[in-house]
Amino acid sequence: MHLSTSPPPGRPPVLLLIAHGSRDPRHAATVGALCERVRSLRPGLRVEVGYLDFCAPSVPQVLARLSMEGRHNVVALPLLLSRAFHAKSDIPAVLREAAARLPRLSVRQADVLGPSPLLTATLERRLYEAGVRPGDRRSTGVVLASAGSSDPEAIAAIAEIAREWRHTGWCAVRPAFASASLPRTEDAIRAMRADGIERVAVAPYVIAPGFLPDRIARGAREAGADVLAGVLGPSRDVARLLVERFEQARAPRRLAALSA
């Protein structure tokens, strides 16, 4: 990976959304709906999606097809909420390997999505859709339930989001994790109850349904959460954030081109 001070020549860049993938068909359906929202915000922008696992097409397959079409400029945008293994290691390795095979292809990896006020706005919208009223904020504790990671930077980022969100008027906001880290969703709910918080809502900090979001939902039900919000999904604010990250990646001072 090397820094570039000007956009590579050729046609306007293609936006390649990189999703994790899941055996759950709801995952790909949600990613597809999110692509459509982005296209509606940016008519004329070509938006493709590639998956790291479970779903097709894979990221290398999409890049090979774009190269064959002569579409040599690509902004690869991870559908990730924090900088953990996939953003730091897995995705860069996939892109470097593709660049080595496709020397005419110029790929820039955009930043991950979080943190962002647009994500927090979507979390709140999902809570209100699930039954929380604006006037309930000061009597409601929120469990910010993410997929989880073993990466300390990612864990610290989730904890910081919870701290900042708490300052907007919620009774309490605490992080929880579906894997790799503790506490689990059900443990965070029980801890809030033990602290005397009577009304607890769970806000899944995940983009699409799948195995780990289902684990979050089970934990919420088992511990008796009063409200379980939906996943972030293909909201307009998430789509706006994708466009924002795409534009940031195109800016000369932010370009990071991957080459062989």
Q: Is position 120 within any domain?
A: no
CATH value at residue 104: 3.40.50.1400
Residues 43 and 102 in one domain: yes
Buried b / exposed e across 135-169, counting CB within 10 Å, b at 16+?
A: ebeeebbbbbbbbbbebeebbebbeebbeebbeee
Strand order in the sheet with 227-228: 172-177, 140-146, 199-205, 227-228
Q: What is the dihedral of CA 110, 116, 121, 126, to 10 degrees?
A: 60
Q: Which residues on neighbouring strands pair with residue 227, listed in sequence order?
A: 201
Residues 15 and 85 in one domain: yes
pTM: 0.91
Does the structure show a pLDDT above 80 at 252?
A: no
Q: Is position 126 within any domain?
A: no
Residues 43 and 104 in one domain: yes
Q: What is the mean pLDDT of residues 149-162?
A: 94
pLDDT band at 10 (very low <50, low <70, confident <90, very high): low
Give the model's pLDDT for residue 104: 87
For 82-120, what is each residue's pLDDT tens digit?
988 778 889 999 999 998 999 889 999 999 999 999 999
Residues 78 and 146 in one domain: no
Residues 106 and 11 in one domain: yes
**How many residues are present in the chain?**
260
Give the model's pLDDT for residue 12: 80
> Any idea what the Cα angle at residue 51 is, between residues 50 and 56, rounded to 5°?
85
Angle, nearest 10°, between helix axes 117-129 and 236-250? 170
Residues 148 and 104 in one domain: no
Residues 99 and 180 in one domain: no
- Smallest CA-to-CA distance from 69 within 15, 11, 8 is with 11
User: How many independent structural domains does the chain possess?
Assistant: 2
Give the model's pLDDT for residue 87: 82
Could you count the other beta carbons within 10 Å of the beta carbon of residue 9?
Answer: 8
Residues 218 and 170 in one domain: yes
User: 17 is in which domain, residue-wise?
Assistant: 2-113+236-258
Does the structure show a pLDDT above 60 at 9?
A: no
Residues 25 and 46 in one domain: yes
Residues 75 and 151 in one domain: no
Q: Is position 119 within any domain?
A: no
Q: Which residues on neighbouring strands pair with residue 223, listed in sequence order?
A: none
3-state secondary structure of 184: coil
Q: Is position 211 within any domain?
A: yes
Q: Is position 121 within any domain?
A: no
3-state secondary structure of 148: coil
Q: Is position 7 within any domain?
A: yes
pLDDT band at 5 (very low <50, low <70, confident <90, very high): very low
- Smallest CA-to-CA distance from 18 within 113, 103, 100 is with 113
Residues 13 and 105 in one domain: yes
Residues 153 and 177 in one domain: yes
The average confidence (pLDDT) of the chain is 91
